[in-house]
A and B are shown apart, each in its own frame.
Chain A
Amino acid sequence: MAQYETVIGLEVHVELKTRSKVFCDSTTEFGGDPNTHVCPVCLGLPGTLPVVNKTVVEYAIRAGLAINCSIAEFSKFDRKNYYYPDMPKNYQISQYDLPIALNGHLDIEVDGETRRIGITRLHMEEDTGKLVHQGTITTTPYSLVDYNRAGVPLIEIVSEPDLRSPEEARRYMEKLKAIMQYTGVSDCKMEEGSLRCDANISLRPASSTEFGTKTEIKNLNSFRALQRALAYEIERQTEVLEEGGRIVQETRTWDEGKGITLPLRSKEFAHDYRYLPDPDLVPMIIDREWVDDIRSSLPELPDDRRQRYIGEYGLPSYDAGILTDTKELADYFEDCVKAYPNPKVVSNWVMGDLTRLLNAGAVDITGCRIRPKQLASLLQLIDKGTISGKIAKTVFEEMFATGKEPEVIVKEKGLVQISDEGAIVAVVDKILADNPKSVEDFRAGKERALGFLVGQVMKATKGKANPDLVNRLLKEKLQ
């Protein structure tokens, strides 16, 4: 198995979150009843013509800059001709030889090592409609076509064949997703299809520098599918090669249910796209000032933010990586730090309890009911000694469930920490009187007995007694 090296290149499609479609003013809103978000243009009615949505070009430039591409000075749209019933015109308006952005890269970390993955190009194109099958594409007696998504703007980002494992492919895809979200050009909701991926994969002898024959796997619509499909394909290709066979260059589809890739019939997918410059659209001369404006409006990107967290906040690299993985989480974290300027404490809470609760409830950080200021208030309550760290966890859970202010929860539930020495002394005296054996043990040198006695005091105060105070008072009484 180990004698082959895996070579993977990804073609990632990202749906841009503009208001209207790329070549007409139909809404890009997700969902809607079938065929209700269409106009004569995106339905491909005879006589209709496309007009480019300027924001699509702006977003494509923004995305290109974020992945270190150079932006073309001259760019144009071409027609990619092939027949498929989800395409209203039976050609897709795309970009062929003069894409909007070229020659970029992004860095990924795998096993603590940074790898730079080349990006060949980024181009703009239109999405297709949706085919609904009864069952799967191979068994359905007929299909239904809904053109609501037809004409939604896409950018396609093509990587160099620089990825060497399914894990790297996944990391690359995750990183790309983070960057696209940071730049605000896409929601990257994989479940809604706004981030999709096709993978080219081949194997070659470990020592070889030439590429082996590749297969293209389509329909990889989750990180899990990407990783599993690639792992499967490595296994399949290895088997073919080890048996002395040859890989057939073909397009395959990932069958999520069966966990295998399957070849698609060649008649439909053996394409000769017959590209031609779209005569209905005019060239784009991309003004450098426009590019500079977009560049200067780019937000801080994940890599920079992560470095800042390490440098400015003193966070470990791993934690900084997790916190900056999505823009929403990083924004949340920073809002917390603004209100409670102790990044390490905030980081512990966000990465610990908060992440645990979010995962358990399958909630996104954007849907989190605890606002950053509320988390800060909670941490301040601990600092002031109003509640103990332990009680704070209970309050936190309540905040997560109800969205109430921590002060309100503390008050309602009577969770205020007892720091009144007199009140605690009374309890301590009672516990010492009730547990003569433990007192004896302690005095005989068994330190553990102290812990038991602290526990008894805490129990009697329902956890509200200030633990430091309890410790000190017990020690004083026992001496």
Chain B
Amino acid sequence: MQLFRLTAHELHDLLIKKEISAEELNLAVFDRIEAVEDRVKAYVTMTKERALEQARSVDRQINDGEKISPLAGIPVAIKDNMCIDGVRTTACSKILANFVPPYSATVVKRLDGAGAIMVGKTNCDEFAMGSSTENSAFFITRNPWDTERVPGGSSGGSAAVIAAGEAICSLGSDTGGSIRLPASFCGVVGLKPTYGAVSRYGLIAFASSLDQIGPFTRDVADCAAMLNVICGHDPLDSTSANYNMPDFTGFLKNDVQGLKIGVPREYMVEGIHPEVREAIEQALSLLEALGAHVEYTTLPHTEYALSTYYLIAPAEASSNLARYDGVRYGYRAEKADDVIDMFMKTRSEGFGSEVKRRIMLGTYALSAGYYDAYYLKALRVRTLIKQDFDRAFEKYDLLVSPVCPTTAFRIGEKTEDPLEMYLSDVCTISINLAGIPGMSIPGGFAQGMPVGLQLMGRHFDEGTLLRAAYTFEQNTDYHKAFPEL
């Protein structure tokens, strides 16, 4: 039995039946990592000792007859932009290469509390800025389905470890598609919750009004289990919503009868790969066959989303990333005449090219004389984009689209032209601008590479996403496909 190929709920059953121990499970995953990691290159830091110690403690609980939570003993990987007390946390940037936080992110504390085992920190685009994980300061992560291709980004490592069996569940963060795009490219389940559903405390900020943490899993049931642990109000995050959180596993029903699904036309045109279109259309037909009402609809301001996003996100980023100056932590340039020189050298040597580009763009958008024309304008267009969704959700319970017009592209294919790379996010960024939940589930294959089906719902209606995703999953077997490595 290849434990690393199972889901958390399957493993939970084995654990409580004492057919396996948590230590055994984690060792199996570490063996798998050893076997494939040199081809995938998904982890930047491994925490094996910490993991095995935690696993043994879960085993003691099981042996003492204690009831354990669904994620207890389950190997979980964490994107390297979330802080773990005492564990190097870099955001995959040279500027934080040696940073060891003295505190843990709220999501990490919650997972710890649920007995989940942290196996390591995963690779990502530097400060989560990118769509391919090629912007990591350390190395490029490869797509387990085709190691010549990117895993998507920015949470490429967290998606790749699920596809490759190097962890059972993982956490990513999504600012403009950074969970859904790699989930789509790697053929796993990824969900960006409603903005405010998961605490951002301890997530190294990229664009604060858009960032949201979410899970990668092998199936929808595991996704619900992860949400049960990570969602909920946190007094340390002022933007964390205080709402009645449901038990997300309650939505795992094989039933979409009567569900009203809208398909935004704007997400299906221009440059979409014919096989991706075909996969999406087949998926829609299946949902229809299962009793859902499916029809095309419109989100008229979609064409402005990319510009809006690439003004707001860099503007916030330029401010969020100001703190990396070589004074309190992180990299510092060696020779400097004075403080200003030290700041400039430190930041120029410490940040990679994409991060600098976005700092430049954001700084420009906020600078005197341009604020109204760019940043404020973008915030106004953001309102229009949000209203598009509000209107659509008056009519539909759910919106469905591709996650990306293409499947995973080749490494290096888009690194030369930033605009070309930004276009990978065209179907995902509006969701962040509107703050609604978005999910990518395995929706088929195009030329042997996974295609992600994107589900979008109302604020705090992750339940409907889970229900539709679960139904789709129960009637397909795309999620069971496993890449050969």
Contact = CB atoms under 8 A, between A and B. Distances in A.
A/B: CB atoms within 8 Å of each other: yes
Contacts of A147: 328
A460 interface: no
A61 B96 CA distance: 40
B348 interface: no
Interface string B138-166: 00000000000000000000000000000
B91 A268 contact: no
A283 B204 CA distance: 23
A279 B202 CA distance: 15
A46 B101 contact: yes
Contacts of A88: 323, 328
B366 A274 contact: yes
A130 to B, nearest CB: 13
A132 interface: no
A276 B323 contact: no
Interface in A27-57: 40, 43-52
B315 interface: yes
Contact of A45 (B81, B91, B101): B101
Task: Give the contact-size bracket for chain A.
Answer: 20 to 34
Interface residues of B, number: 45
A83 B238 contact: no
A43 B371 CA distance: 29
A89 B323 contact: yes
Contacts of A52: 238
Interface in B441-463: none
A47 B203 contact: yes
B202 A47 contact: yes
B420 interface: no
A5 B236 CA distance: 52
Contacts, number: 105
Contacts of B318: 81, 274
B368 interface: yes
B322 interface: yes
A47 B82 contact: yes
A49 B367 contact: no
A280 to B, nearest CB: 5
Interface in B180-226: 200-205, 207-209
A85 interface: yes
A91 B208 contact: no
Contacts of B205: 46-47, 280
Nearest to A83: B343
B191 to A, nearest CB: 21
Contact of B200 (A40, A49, A272, A276): A49
Nearest to B90: A46
Contacts of A44: 323, 328
A79 interface: yes
Interface of chain B, main secondary structure: loop
A358 interface: no
B367 A272 contact: yes
A91 B96 CA distance: 19
A280 B239 contact: yes
Interface string B309-342: 0000001101100111101110000000001100
A267 B340 contact: yes
A478 interface: no
B96 A43 contact: no
B102 to A, nearest CB: 7
A282 interface: yes
B91 to A, nearest CB: 7
A286 interface: no
B340 A282 contact: no
B290 interface: no
A46 B322 contact: no
B101 A145 contact: no
B424 interface: no
Interface string A396-432: 0000000000000000000000000000000000000
B83 to A, nearest CB: 5
A49 B209 CA distance: 12
A276 B91 contact: no
Nearest to B237: A49
A405 to B, nearest CB: 52
Contacts of A81: 318-319, 322, 366
A274 B317 CA distance: 13
Contact of A83 (B237, B340, B375): B340
B328 A281 contact: no
B424 to A, nearest CB: 24
B204 A46 contact: yes
Given A47-B83, A47-B202, A281-B238, A145 B322 contact: no
B250 interface: no
A90 interface: yes
Contacts of A47: 81-83, 89, 101, 105, 200-205
Contacts of A43: 328
Contacts of A85: 325, 327, 339
A448 B422 CA distance: 106
B236 A51 contact: yes
Contact of B238 (A268, A274, A282): A282
Contacts of A267: 340
A279 B83 contact: no
Contacts of B83: 45-47
B304 to A, nearest CB: 20
Interface of A: 40, 43-52, 79, 81, 83, 85, 88-91, 143, 145, 147, 267-268, 272, 274-276, 279-282
Given A46-B89, A276-B315, 11 more contacts: A46-B204, A46-B205, A47-B204, A143-B339, A147-B328, A272-B367, A272-B368, A275-B366, A276-B319, A279-B207, A281-B238
9 contacts: A44-B323, A45-B101, A45-B329, A46-B204, A46-B205, A47-B204, A49-B201, A83-B322, A282-B239
